[in-house]
């Protein structure tokens, strides 16, 4: 097995560097499954990094779902060793048989690789997605009636779990990489699931061949994704502008001036609501378009709603988006722990034994005589964090009962960085 590329007739090295943003990062991880795409990526990167004197490491994730996975991981390990590169196999054994297996495996894969990259001090990880993967993704999202964000498909660079993920081969066809591997005499392993029609991606792959006579091929769909990504960037810019002008954060809620909110175009309104919901709930996935549209239409009529573990209401010319009380009513943690993934309580005095962070709720709010002086809606305060010792309320800083305690947000709202912030 040859360990480096002998030829590069398609100029893949140049395309890869362009896909990396024009240069090689000093330290990079590369995810390799043993398939043709990732093996080509590894072969190309190893040559470039060796010439540049940069640091490259290899990782493989064994999901434990196929007997062949361990053999494939060993294959990658041996190839990496022949290239003089450090390699590690990460194993996922947490599948409980519930929910969407493909999604669970994907989420686990990113989480495991991110932990590995942080441990190895690798700020970014390269993935072997190609123009064909991009086209298949666009086709699948078309079937789901996706909007601009969905049709933007995979970004060349993205951030997840505080690691930057790079896809430098999005402009390269899968067949071109196979030709490169054959010319370079680099072996790879074909995953038998690539022919399994139970998977929507494989069905999309087969459909692409039939669409080619209409001019709908991988290059066309990849260009559509690029165009949509440009539109998405423009929409995000406008949403940033709107957020800085009409939103503020108060008591962990996102508050918008209603008149200014409804003066924005429909899509900007939708994006503002989605950002607020996602920041408050911490959900990985955004709600579907129709429920969000119904929520906004209801607000225009003065009607509140709940969605994605959040509550939305219109009060005195302002739209409040905040945590739904029922979503956190059972959540209890020690006073020095993070509550609802985004709140931390602190005190200058020693915390009493058994002190806990809980939702304030109706019983707690009844013990806060000055809550109306805060100017915050009762429904908002019900779902805010408070400090308890057994059945005794020690403090509810956001409802005017501080008793030397303070609560602060731990989750940064970077998209609201120019908006006024009030705890």
Mean pLDDT, rounded, for 77-102: 85
pLDDT(305) > 70: yes
The pLDDT of residue 2 is 40
The rounded percent of the chain whose pLDDT value lies above 90 is 70
Q: Are residues 19 and 108 in the same domain?
A: yes
Q: Confirm whether 236 is domain-assigned.
A: no
Q: Confirm whether 169 is domain-assigned.
A: yes
Q: Confirm whether 347 is domain-assigned.
A: yes
End-to-end alpha carbon distance in the chain: 61
Q: Are residues 303 and 401 in the same domain?
A: no
Question: How far is the C-alpha of 317 from the C-alpha of 157, rounded, in Å?
Answer: 40
Digit-coded pLDDT (tens) for 144-175: 888 898 888 888 999 999 999 999 999 999 99
- 62: alpha, beta or left, given left = phi > 0 and alpha = psi -120 to 50? beta
- Closest of 135, 63, 145 to residue 106, by C-alpha: 63
How many structural domains are present in the chain?
3
Q: Confirm whether 2 is domain-assigned.
A: no
Compare 391 and 10 and report the one with higher pLDDT.
391
pLDDT(420) > 50: no
The pLDDT of residue 104 is 80
pTM comes to 0.81
Q: Are strands 247-250 and 421-422 parallel, antiparallel or unpaired?
A: parallel
Digit-coded pLDDT (tens) for 118-146: 999 999 999 999 999 999 889 888 888 88
pLDDT(415) > 70: no
Q: Are residues 143 and 213 in the same domain?
A: yes
The pLDDT of residue 387 is 96
Q: Are residues 47 and 103 in the same domain?
A: yes
The pLDDT of residue 9 is 62
Tokens 């219109």 correspond to 314
Mean pLDDT, rounded, for 176-182: 95
The pLDDT of residue 413 is 65
Band the pLDDT of 103: cuts 50, 70, 90. Answer: confident
Q: Are residues 195 and 278 in the same domain?
A: no
DSSP 42-73: HHHHHHHHHHHT-EEEEEEEE-SSSTTHHHHH
262's CB contacts (< 8 A; 6+ apart) are 269, 300
- The angle subtended at Cα 389 by Cα 387 and Cα 393, nearest 5°, is 55
Question: 194-208, 215-229, 254-268, 379-393: lowest mean pLDDT where?
Answer: 194-208
- The angle subtended at Cα 206 by Cα 141 and Cα 133, nearest 5°, is 50
- Closest of 189, 57, 78 to residue 124, by C-alpha: 57
Contacts by 286-295 with C-beta closer than 8 Å and gap 24+? 289/147
DSSP state, residue 166: E
Q: Are residues 123 and 194 in the same domain?
A: yes
Q: Are residues 76 and 217 in the same domain?
A: yes
| 3-class DSSP assignment, residue 31 | strand
Provide the token pair at 173: 């066809």
Q: Are residues 200 and 262 in the same domain?
A: no
Q: Confirm whether 197 is domain-assigned.
A: yes
Q: Are residues 16 and 59 in the same domain?
A: yes
The pLDDT of residue 286 is 87
The pLDDT of residue 97 is 61
The pLDDT of residue 68 is 83
Q: Confirm whether 101 is domain-assigned.
A: yes
Q: Are residues 188 and 111 in the same domain?
A: yes
The pLDDT of residue 83 is 96
The pLDDT of residue 196 is 59
- Closest of 274, 256, 251 to residue 377, by C-alpha: 251
The rounded percent of the chain whose pLDDT value lies above 70 is 91
pLDDT(96) > 90: no
The pLDDT of residue 386 is 97
Q: Confirm whether 45 is domain-assigned.
A: yes
Assess contact for 202 and 196: CB atoms under 8 A: yes
Give the structural domain span for 270.
Answer: 251-323
Q: Are residues 210 and 350 in the same domain?
A: no
Q: Confirm whether 22 is domain-assigned.
A: yes
Q: What is the mean pLDDT of the chain?
A: 89
pLDDT(423) > 60: no
183's CB contacts (< 8 A; 6+ apart) are 5, 6, 7, 9
Compare 210 and 90 and report the one with higher pLDDT.
90
Question: How far is the C-alpha of 62 from the C-alpha of 59, rounded, in Å?
Answer: 10
Q: Are residues 38 and 183 in the same domain?
A: yes
CATH assignment of the domain containing 277: 1.20.59.20
CATH assignment of the domain containing 174: 3.40.50.620
The pLDDT of residue 195 is 61
The pLDDT of residue 119 is 97
DSSP 340-368: TTTEEEEESSPPPTTEEEEE-HHHHHTT-
Band the pLDDT of 193: cuts 50, 70, 90. Answer: low
The pLDDT of residue 190 is 85
Band the pLDDT of 354: cuts 50, 70, 90. Answer: very high
Mean pLDDT, rounded, for 190-217: 75
């Amino acid at each position: 097995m040859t360990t480096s590329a002998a030829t590069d007739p398609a100029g893949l090295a140049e395309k890869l560097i362009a896909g990396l943003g024009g240069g090689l990062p000093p330290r990079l991880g590369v995810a390799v499954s043993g398939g043709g795409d990732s093996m080509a990526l590894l072969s190309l990167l190893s040559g470039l990094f060796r010439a540049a004197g940069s640091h490259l490491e290899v990782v493989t994730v064994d999901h434990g779902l196929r007997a062949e996975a361990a053999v494939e991981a060993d294959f990658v390990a041996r190839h990496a060793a022949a290239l003089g590169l450090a390699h590690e196999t990460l194993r996922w054994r947490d599948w409980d048989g519930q929910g969407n297996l493909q999604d669970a495996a994907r989420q686990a894969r990113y989480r495991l690789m991110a932990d590995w990259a942080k441990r190895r001090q690798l700020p970014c990880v390269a993935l072997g997605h190609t123009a064909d993967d991009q086209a298949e993704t666009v086709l699948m999202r078309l079937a789901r009636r996706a909007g601009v964000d969905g049709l933007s498909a995979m970004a060349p660079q993205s951030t997840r779990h505080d690691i930057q993920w790079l896809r430098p081969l999005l402009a390269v066809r899968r067949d071109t990489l196979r030709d490169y591997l054959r010319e370079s005499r680099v072996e790879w392993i074909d995953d038998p699931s690539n022919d399994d029609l139970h998977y929507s991606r494989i069905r999309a792959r087969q459909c692409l061949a039939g669409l080619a006579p209409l001019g709908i091929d991988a290059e066309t769909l990849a260009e559509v994704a690029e165009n949509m990504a440009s539109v998405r960037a423009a929409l995000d810019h406008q949403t940033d502008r709107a957020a800085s002008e009409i939103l503020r954060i108060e008591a962990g809620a996102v508050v918008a001036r209603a008149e200014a909110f409804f003066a924005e175009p429909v899509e900007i309104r939708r994006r503002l609501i989605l950002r607020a919901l996602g920041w408050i709930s911490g959900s990985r996935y955004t709600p579907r378009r129709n429920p969000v549209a119904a929520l906004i239409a209801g607000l225009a009529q003065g009607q509140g709603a709940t969605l994605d573990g959040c509550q939305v209401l219109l009060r005195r010319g302002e739209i409040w988006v905040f945590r739904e009380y029922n979503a956190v009513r059972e959540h209890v943690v020690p006073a020095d722990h993070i509550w609802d993934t985004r709140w931390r309580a602190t005190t200058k005095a020693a915390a009493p034994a058994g002190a806990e962070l809980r939702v304030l709720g109706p019983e707690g709010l009844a013990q806060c005589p000055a809550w109306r002086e805060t100017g915050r809606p009762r429904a908002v305060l019900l779902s805010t964090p408070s400090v308890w010792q057994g059945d005794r309320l020690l403090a509810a800083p956001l409802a005017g009962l501080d008793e030397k305690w303070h609560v602060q947000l731990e989750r940064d709202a970077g998209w609201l960085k120019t908006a006024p912030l009030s705890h």
